[in-house]
Amino acid sequence: MSEAANIVADPARQENVTRILDCAERLFRHYGYGKTNVADIARELGMSPANIYRFFASKVEIHQAVCGRMLGASYKMAYEIMHLPISAEERLRRYIHAQYKMTLEVMLDQEKVHEMVIVALERDWGVIDKHVNSIHDLFAEVIRDGIATGEFREQDPETASRCFGAATVILCHPQMVAQCLAKTNRAMPDELIDYAIRALK
């Protein structure tokens, strides 16, 4: 197991890990994941590839850590929206709109970032499953609030959260968003969100 897989207690070590990830993300975004290797990252940082391998076992592990940071930013956005002092319906609506906007702007407008995400999805990393589960937990929390206030009907919040996620995934999944953008026979974002929320009522 690489040193990056463990909790980094040494501030200097953590600083090196952060520098490597910052540099890797910058190169992935500029040249693309496929065209960037560990030697490129090392050269950009003015260190040897062997030094990079002290912190990460492979380019794949670096990529996984970079994607983990991106998912962390996505979760932070979701958490903040889901805890706004507004109705449960409006929280769900705002989150899906915000995630759709983020997917369009970050994942699709920046083609190289999209490549990084597609590679991660194809590898079916546990970090992505963990993120999906965390989002479903937030959905369940909001749905539970909506049931308590009478906005939503009585139902199992965990089941409802998974169904709501499945119903709106086409607005959040980079590949699905990319494939549906130019299609005229797909539901519009507002139509899909309205439909999913009506199901909760």
- 188 pLDDT exceeds 80? yes
Q: Which of 59-63, 149-153, 182-186, 191-195 has the lowest mean pLDDT?
A: 182-186
- CA 200 – CA 31 distance, rounded (Å): 44
pLDDT, average across residues 112-140:
80
The packing angle between helices 59-82 and 38-45, to 10°, is 80
pLDDT at res. 127: 79
Q: Domain spans of the chain?
A: 1-57, 66-200
Closest among 42, 74, 53 to 4, alpha carbons compared: 53
* DSSP one-letter string for 40-74: HHHHHHTS-HHHHTTT-SSHHHHHHHHHHHHHHHH
pLDDT at res. 6: 46
Query: What kind of architecture, by CATH, is found in domain 1-57?
Result: Orthogonal Bundle (1.10)
Helix (H) or strand (E) holding 77: helix 59-82
pLDDT at res. 171: 86
For domain 66-200, give the CATH superfamily.
Tetracycline Repressor, domain 2 (1.10.357.10)
Closest among 125, 124, 117 to 29, alpha carbons compared: 117
